[in-house]
Amino acid sequence: MTVPGLFDLGGRTALVTGSSRGLGRAMAQGLAEAGAALVLNGVDAGRLAEAAAALRAAGHEVHEAPFDVTDEAAVAAAFARLDAEGIAVDVLVNNAGIQLRRPLVELDTADWRRVIDTNLTSAFVVGREAARRMIPRGAGKIVNIGSLTSAAARATVAPYTVAKGGIKMLTQAMTAEWARHGIQANAIGPGYMLTDMNRALVDDPAFNDWVIGRTPAKRWGRPEELVGAAVFLASRASDYVNGQIVYVDGGMLAVL
């Protein structure tokens, strides 16, 4: 096996949840450039179609699976449709997520549940559907998207922090049960990245200064800077890497 061959995803299919924009879209493009066929996901059908069209125009094989990751029946139906079309998911990237900035004392229980459901329970539900199909094949790659908050809490994002801490332990729980079946479950913990999720924070001079001041790399991360970690964790190169979280954060966690 050559070194480039270790990272070759030819013949593999990758489902990336929340890949209509942001980090998911960048990782999907990177996985496609490494050779994978894609199953793109999001809730906004227009944005999903636009992302799919752009990747097809670049020559990639792209399927669209518009479903809400918090809707268990919709997730099951989407996997059933893929089964019917003969599409097997070899790589799952559990990326879909939302953030809500609100102090704990002002937080409604419904908002708490929405953030936990979207960022954490979804990874269990989609991961379970994927693993039910990967286990009989004896192979699969699961990449869960955590955060710096998988390791350290920040004020005003409590349910997000709890969800991302949960992503770290879900990754370890998946490893405990599924590594023996040839499934490698790992996670990526991005730092502060330039996406729609952070648009308001970039525009807030005090927050922007805090991010740049506290990040050893002295800048925000770009979505495409997750591609290396995503391709590594989706490829043969990580076949004996299990239950890890790779932080891609410009060094922020080293000094947090």
Distant-in-sequence, close-in-space partners of 163: CB < 8 Å, separation ≥ 6: 97, 115, 116, 118, 119, 120
- Contact status: 93 vs ligand NDP (CB under 6 A): no
Q: How many residues make contact with ligand NDP (CB under 6 A)?
A: 32
- CB of residue 124 to ligand NDP, shortest distance in Å: 14
CB burial string 175-186: b at 16+ within 10 A, e below: beebeeeebbbb
- Contact status: 97 vs ligand NDP (CB under 6 A): yes
Distance (Å, rounded) from C-alpha 137 to C-alpha 98? 32
- Contact status: 166 vs ligand NDP (CB under 6 A): no
Strands 37-40 and 140-145: unpaired
> Residue from 3, 84, 86, 196 that binds ligand NDP (CB under 6 A)?
196
Distance (Å, rounded) from C-alpha 43 to C-alpha 161? 23
| Site map (CB under 6 A) of ligand NDP, residues 37-76, x = contact | ----xxxx--x--------------------xxx------
**Residues across the chain:** 256
Applying CB under 6 A, the span of 4-12, 194-202, 206-214, 231-239 interacting with ligand NDP comes to 194-202
CB 95 within 8 A of CB 141: no
> Residue from 118, 171, 184, 238 that binds ligand NDP (CB under 6 A)?
118
Distance (Å, rounded) from C-alpha 195 to C-alpha 200? 10
- CB of residue 14 to ligand NDP, shortest distance in Å: 15
Distant-in-sequence, close-in-space partners of 252: CB < 8 Å, separation ≥ 6: 148, 191, 192, 214, 215, 216
Question: Does 240 participate in catalysis according to the annotation?
Answer: no
| Site map (CB under 6 A) of ligand NDP, residues 13-42, x = contact | ----xxxxxxxx----------------xx
- CB of residue 69 to ligand NDP, shortest distance in Å: 4
Active site residues: 160
Residues engaged in binding ligand NDP (CB under 6 A): 17-24, 41-44, 47, 68-70, 95-99, 118-119, 145, 147, 190, 192-193, 195-198
